[in-house]
């Protein structure tokens, strides 16, 4: 193994020991360190074959982390696509399915953390709070279900 490949592999392993990284993240970080794409990609591919790097594992870890932070599926899918992860990755879909029943709970927790107790509000406040939840990645249908369940709006 030549020294360039060895240096690239060491940098990759150093990054992967801290946390999971997508292939795109590794590529970007190593290119910032001055390595060339043509030299980096074969090393990343080799690490993926050896299961040192896995986009599926990264997607699962990242999705769980963002869910714990109170973000919805729309935001998580967008963020993962920005990190080079195909949103159809099976691991991501499995994570989303495991928490699908808890979306209302997650939305409720996010709402209560920001606004306190759930109590009736004006239409202006309802609009503002709905925008906040949309920015957090919850779908409008989830927000409507939440609003109907808790009768948030005071006419």
Both 46 and 77 in a single domain?
no
Tell whether 121 is covered by a domain.
yes
Tell whether 31 is covered by a domain.
yes
Give the tens place of pLDDT for each residue, 102-138.
788 888 889 999 988 888 788 888 889 999 999 999 9
pLDDT at site 123:
80
Range of the domain at 134: 102-150
Tally of domains within the chain: 3
Rounded CA gap, 132 and 27, in Å?
A: 33
Query: Could you tell me the CATH number of the domain that includes residue 109?
Result: 1.10.10
Looking at the predicted structure, is the pLDDT value of residue 24 above 90?
yes
Nearest CA among 8, 88, 6 for reference residue 44:
8
Both 117 and 130 in a single domain?
yes
């Amino acid at each position: 193994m030549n020294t360039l490949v060895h240096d690239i592999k060491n940098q990759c392993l150093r990054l992967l020991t801290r946390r999971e990284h997508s292939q795109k993240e590794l590529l970007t970080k190593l290119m910032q360190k001055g390595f060339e794409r043509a030299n980096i990609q074969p090393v990343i591919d080799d690490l993926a074959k050896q299961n040192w790097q896995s986009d599926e594992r990264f997607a699962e870890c990242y999705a769980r982390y963002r869910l714990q932070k109170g973000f919805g599926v729309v935001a998580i899918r967008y963020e993962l696509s920005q990190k080079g992860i195909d949103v159809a990755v099976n691991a991501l879909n499995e994570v989303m399915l495991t928490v699908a029943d808890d979306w209302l709970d997650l939305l409720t927790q996010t709402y209560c953390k920001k606004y306190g107790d759930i109590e009736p509000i004006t239409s202006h406040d309802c609009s503002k709070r709905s925008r906040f939840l949309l920015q957090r990645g919850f779908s409008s249908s989830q927000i409507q279900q939440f609003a109907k369940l808790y009768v948030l709006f005071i006419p």
